Structure 1
Amino acid sequence: MYKLFFAVAVLFSTVCSGVFAQDSLIYLQNPSFEDVPQANHLPKGWVNCNGDAALAPDIQPSGDFGVTTPAQHGKTYMAMVVRDNETWEKISQKLSKPLKGGKCYEFKIFLARSEKYIGQSEAKGGQANYGTPAKLRIYGGFSACDRQFLLAETNLIVHFRWLEYNFRFEPTDDYTHITFEAFYKTPNLFPYNGNLLLDNASPITPITEDCEEKPEVAKVEQPKKDSVVNPVVTTPPPAPIQPPVAEAKVVLNPNFSALKTEDLSKGQTFRMSSINFAVNDTIINRASYPQLDDLVKFLTNNPGVLIEIGGHTNGLCEDNFCNRLSQRRAAAVGNYLISKGVVQERLVMKGYGKTQPVSAVKNDPKNQRVDVKILEL
């Protein structure tokens, strides 16, 4: 009788542990992107994040645009492009249950590139091949298409056959939605036409191991022809750049709401080092909101103050790319303040690119920052 009870207990424990393990998984709807092959259409379960339905990704292989790569799993897969007019495609959906902030997860998906993807150039007109490699970015957010936090990012997908990519990521909040985005080589001076193929995504699995590993291709090597068509380019080590700018009248991480007009002087600069963005993008990380809200409170309490919002980048990108990115980031901060009720006329948004470093090392995080300067009292 005791042996029977013990056997039943072991069986119950095994079954329950398997159930609990399954319950811990986070599932995607239609992870293999199965549907009727057609251009400018999304498979069931996915949302178009591109605004215009005519610019939606494609269910392939439909034969449209010359794409004939067979699916890795099932019959169809998702194909997304980046365009030479600086637009790119994104898809999104709600997760079966939220990610947990501070917890480590593992995720896998098969990726490839189509050698041919014939369409129209949005910037120049005429026929173009969208065959240039693109990369995959994965975001967590709180609604469809919300790119709140960059969970993971691949290198450029240069290979033409399907390879499985493994990711480990640690969200900073309890994100309810996931967004997949095709994106350019970064940093990149000019946008270009490229494509990215996605298939057979796994459930998102919580793990207890180290979460610092970078995405890697699993089990298979890239074909030799890809290494010839797309040679690997290594980045040289960081080198010293121009001398850093003087740090006069700079206040680090101020408590804005405690400041009064009599504490200020024209030209005084406040460095908001806790304002962070997604990599090579203008998306403000959610962790930056408290300091921005503190700035809103200060501006509300001091209606006569006019400020400049200065965006600054590190020194790793080309001049034009740095200038454009810093200007867009400054505008993103300004738009956040305006959305909270600050009058636009009190704000000047300016991008300085990499022209005003505070460190002589190109990739020093201190160089990538947002400064607030007092223009008028």
Structure 2
Amino acid sequence: MKFVWPLAMSLLLFILFAPATAEAQGKAISLDNPSFEDMPRHSMTPRYWSNCGSPDESPPDIQPELTFQVSKPAYAGATYLGMVVRDNDTWEAVGQLLSEPLQLGDCYSFSIKLARSLSYYSVSREKNVPANYIKPVKLRIWGGFGTCDKRELLDESPLVSNPDWKEFEFKFEPGASYTHIVLEAFYQTPSLFPYNGNLLLDDASMIEPLPCSQEIAEGPQDPEPTNQPLASVTPRSPDPVVTRVVTEPKNTPTNNQEASSTSLAGVKRSEMTAGKTITLDDIQFEADSSRIIPASLPALEELRNFLANNSDVIIEVGGHTNGWADARYAETLSTARAKSVADYLVRKGIPRSRVRYKGYGKEVPIDTNETAAGRKRNQRVEIKILDVR
């Protein structure tokens, strides 16, 4: 009998604390109609899903449906969702209310079956001729506070080129307690020109809570969402290349050291006055991210050397995007990229008091956004001289 009391206490403690532990790990979140079941038809979203695509274009399609010659059998059930991207810079998306909000600070896993149809015939919007929308695209997953509110890009797939169904897995850590999800077909990035492509979706899983791994917890230096509500928007990703200005040629290590003291990106030290703006060379980032790619290190080191050799100069790092992005998204991304450059300089020994940063979004273009070349010029990093003591 002496063992009965410890055993009873253990059972009591388990009963008392097990529910709280399960609650702390979060709830699984379900989607309504996760396999997109409905009557096959074009230009109509499946039940419980709302059209979140370009407003001047038709909605996605319930496939398989003969209008576009898509005949692939469903992975689960009888039907699936077909979405396209178009050569007139429009694309399709669907959204819905989640059964439970995503929780700030929690991490989640999600999977869905994706494929590409080898035939998806429609009309080219640019040329007004028959076209096969066959090029691979990717799936982007957004969190937001309204049916089509794309507040934060939670995760995205690689290009989906497989003609057979394949399971794609996603992990995300939301920056807010989002109530809605948007599934969006999108172009390959970087992509200078829109094109015709398709994406098939079926058998979405529940959104399951999981322990936050180190990779998710630390995360990249990507744009952070705000907690202020936004109108429903459909942002276009800016091109990942930020700058295109030719660096001043260097001949020898001695010339490198000498030039880093007297000029920056071709601008002489004697020409630098308060308000002077200098466009940097070759600072590039990963697509939709503020991660600086390794090819940018020479330009960053040139800037660091100049500041180290000119301790009287105070600068602002300014980030700019092209005009394809939604205004809030562009401001957030440009700020995150400017901060990445500023943080690099501080890590390399430049006092924080001499390096400030600001994101200007798409508000200060230097060229047209109607051409690829113009968009490249607009998406840039600039240095503004704030003071020369």
Same fold at TM > 0.5: yes
Q: What's the counterpart of residue 77 of structure 2?
A: 74
Q: What's the counterpart of residue 115 of structure 1?
A: 118
Match of 1:321 among 360, 363, 372: 372
CA contact (8 A) 1:148 1:283 kept: no
Cα shift at 1:28: 1.2
CA contact (8 A) 1:134 1:184 kept: yes
Q: What's the counterpart of residue 44 of structure 2?
A: 41
Residues 211 and 284 (structure 1 numbering): CA distance in 2 closer, same or farther, change over 3 Å?
Answer: farther
Are 2:208 and 1:210 equivalent residues in the alignment?
no
Q: What's the counterpart of residue 259 of structure 1?
A: none
CA contact (8 A) 1:139 1:149 kept: yes
Q: What's the counterpart of residue 151 of structure 1?
A: 154
SS at match of 2:89: coil
- Rounded Cα–Cα distance in structure 2 between residues aligned with 1:186 and 1:88: 14
Residue correspondence of structure 1 range 363-374 to structure 2 within 5 A: none
| 1:313-345 Cα deviation digits (max 9, x unpaired) | 9xxxxx943633x7xxxxxxxxxxxxxxxxxxx
SS at match of 2:372: helix
Cα shift at 1:9: 5.5
Q: What's the counterpart of residue 348 of structure 2?
A: none
Q: What's the counterpart of residue 342 of structure 2?
A: none
Cα shift at 1:242: 1.6
- Rounded Cα–Cα distance in structure 2 between residues aligned with 1:66 and 1:7: 63
CA contact (8 A) 2:54 2:90 kept: no
Q: What's the counterpart of residue 310 of structure 1?
A: 364
CA contact (8 A) 2:51 2:93 kept: yes
Match of 1:89 among 92, 104, 108: 92
Cα shift at 1:206: 1.9
C-alpha RMSD of the superposition:
4.1
Q: What's the counterpart of residue 223 of structure 1?
A: none
Residue correspondence of structure 1 range 186-335 to structure 2 within 5 A: 186-210=189-213, 212=215, 242-243=246-247, 244=265, 246=267, 249=274, 281-282=325-326, 284-285=328-329, 288=332, 309-311=363-365, 320-321=371-372, 323-324=374-375
Cα shift at 1:48: 0.5
- Unpaired runs of 5+ residues, structure 1, are 214-237, 253-268, 292-307, 314-318, 327-351, 359-365
Match of 1:353 among 355, 359, 378: 378
* 2:246 partner amino acid: Q
Cα shift at 1:211: 6.0
Q: What's the counterpart of residue 101 of structure 2?
A: 98
Q: Count the aligned residue pairs.
A: 271
Cα shift at 1:284: 2.4
SS at match of 1:64: helix
- Unpaired runs of 5+ residues, structure 2, are 217-241, 248-264, 278-314, 336-361
Cα shift at 1:136: 0.8
SS at match of 1:173: coil
- Rounded Cα–Cα distance in structure 1 between residues aligned with 2:210 and 2:322: 26
Q: What's the counterpart of residue 135 of structure 1?
A: 138
- Rounded Cα–Cα distance in structure 2 between residues aligned with 1:165 and 1:277: 31
Cα shift at 1:281: 3.8
- Rounded Cα–Cα distance in structure 2 between residues aligned with 1:172 and 1:276: 22
CA contact (8 A) 1:138 1:151 kept: yes
**TM-score, length of structure 1 as denominator length:** 0.60
CA contact (8 A) 2:322 2:378 kept: no
**TM-score, length of structure 2 as denominator length:** 0.58
* 1:148 partner amino acid: R
CA contact (8 A) 2:104 2:175 kept: yes
Cα shift at 1:67: 0.4
* 1:26 partner amino acid: I
* 1:282 partner amino acid: D
- Rounded Cα–Cα distance in structure 2 between residues aligned with 1:251 and 1:97: 51
Cα shift at 1:309: 3.3
* 2:328 partner amino acid: I
Could you say which structure has the larger radius of gyration?
2
| 1:106-130 Cα deviation digits (max 9, x unpaired) | 1111110000001111111121100
Cα shift at 1:100: 2.0
- Rounded Cα–Cα distance in structure 2 between residues aligned with 1:144 and 1:84: 26
* 1:155 partner amino acid: P
- Rounded Cα–Cα distance in structure 2 between residues aligned with 1:309 and 1:197: 36
Residues 176 and 283 (structure 1 numbering): CA distance in 2 closer, same or farther, change over 3 Å?
Answer: farther
Q: What's the counterpart of residue 224 of structure 2?
A: none
Cα shift at 1:23: 6.4
* 1:196 partner amino acid: L
SS at match of 2:378: coil
